[in-house]
Amino acid sequence: MKKQGLNPYLPSWEYVPDGEPYVFNGRVYVYGSHDRFNGHAFCLDDYVCWSAPVDDLGDWRYEGVIYKKTDDPLNPDSRMCLYAPDVTVGPDGRYYLYYVLDKVSIVSVAVCDTPAGKYEFYGYVRYADGTRLGEREGDEPQFDPGVLTEGERTYLYTGFCAIGDKSRHGAMATVLGPDMLTIVEEPVFVAPSEPYGKGSGFEGHEFFEAPSIRKKGDTYYFVYSSIAMHELCYATSKFPTKGFVYQGVVVSNNDLHIDSYKPADKPMYYGGNNHGSIVDINGKWFVFYHRHTNGTAFCRQGCIEPIAFREDGTLLQAEMTSCGPNGGPLAGRGEYPAYLACNLFCKDEELYTGGFGQSGAWLDSRFPKITQDGKDGDEEIGYIANMTDSATAGFKYFDCHGIRKIKIKVRGYCHGVFEVKTAWDGPALGNIPVNFSNIWTEYFADLVIPDGIQALYFTYRGSGSASLSSFTLLGDE
């Protein structure tokens, strides 16, 4: 039986952000960096790969570790981390992995005969004289490589540009020859940094990091993280190294700009940096991006949403959901884990997860967070912790018919109720009383969810702090 696609699409104990999706031989392969649960920094673990059949985005398979931090000759003691990678197929049919270590400004390359086999170090991107890109006088630092190969030319996009840093001019495009290493056209700037955005059309959405490139028809789509960080934006051109025009936002990991179910400027999740891309899977287009968990910047999980193109080739911004990979609503019956929450907030509003943005506020015990028990690598199913009075978890969407009862699993020092609603600011359809328990305890309530496609919101009202493990939708049978 075909599985439902869920967000996040990988198991809740897996932390693979910066997703670059590709379809090879009937399967979707996702390449990304690899965060560590409760880690102290970004990207502490080795590269892994996951894949799924193109016709079943609920059936993801772990392909294993494809490249270790110590595989790069510059990193024998693993003191450096593997930052966001990308993969392309070279003219020789082999798969090339491009990446940057976190403490150097050059682009490394590894190669493999298969999409998810063991990649082997291949070399560094370099000029014809052998000087490595990023080390020649006048070079700007390399970061977050994105790659696209057409014939014997590979287009390499790189860059990291903080607000106010005039030493960095924007995203760079460099053309490589058939050996996948040697530069045949030197770097040019294709999207401006914030100090150079005036009059460019990118104002307010200038390039920050995470360049990614895709082609649809005769149009190149340059996807990137803007200076707002929470949003993946895009620009388009008919040429791979010039003429890019800013077009809009593909997705935001706190759902800013979306006004279909809430005010456009209201964050519905705790945002942070974002990185991902778009891909055609079996004739349907999706955006891959990531969200932040555990109340920190360093535990990011991959998510997927369908995207729609207008007739002129521009995109509608995707809405964050719990059902994105499914391509439609989830079944309105059965048990669902709480870590699928696509909306998470409380009365103390914050745009960003710890350390991001202007406030610099870390998410403390005032704020709900998705987390797990155990340590990194333990296959412990995620849940929502720190649900104090007003904390709300939202799940979208479900095809509901005949729901007459809801069950929740809760633990914690809490005494109060969970309100059940179909809109974040809507009336409570009913309350589920909860009390203190050291173990996961089931609580029921008889209440009717209207038939049709619905969102579900659970708001805690009471004293103490509750943790929510799951909810179950039941009929009257």
Active site residues: 18, 209
Q: How many CA atoms lie within 13 A of 183 on its CB side?
A: 21
Locate 457 and state its tokens. Answer: 């919101």
Locate 208 and state its tokens. Answer: 């920050």
Residue 159 CA to residue 141 CA, distance in Å, equals 7
What residues contact residue 410 under an 8 Å CB cut-off, 6+ apart?
418, 434, 437, 440, 441, 443, 466, 467, 468, 469
Per-residue b or e along 360-371, where b marks 16 or more CB atoms closer than 10 Å to that residue's CB: ebebeeebbbbb
Residue 94 CA to residue 409 CA, distance in Å, equals 48
Residue 38 CA to residue 41 CA, distance in Å, equals 9
Put residue 243 in one of left, alpha, beta given phi > 0 → left and psi -120 to 50 → alpha: left
> Taking the alpha carbons of 388, 389, 391, 397 in that order, is the dihedral positive or negative?
positive
- Bridge partners of 408? 443, 471
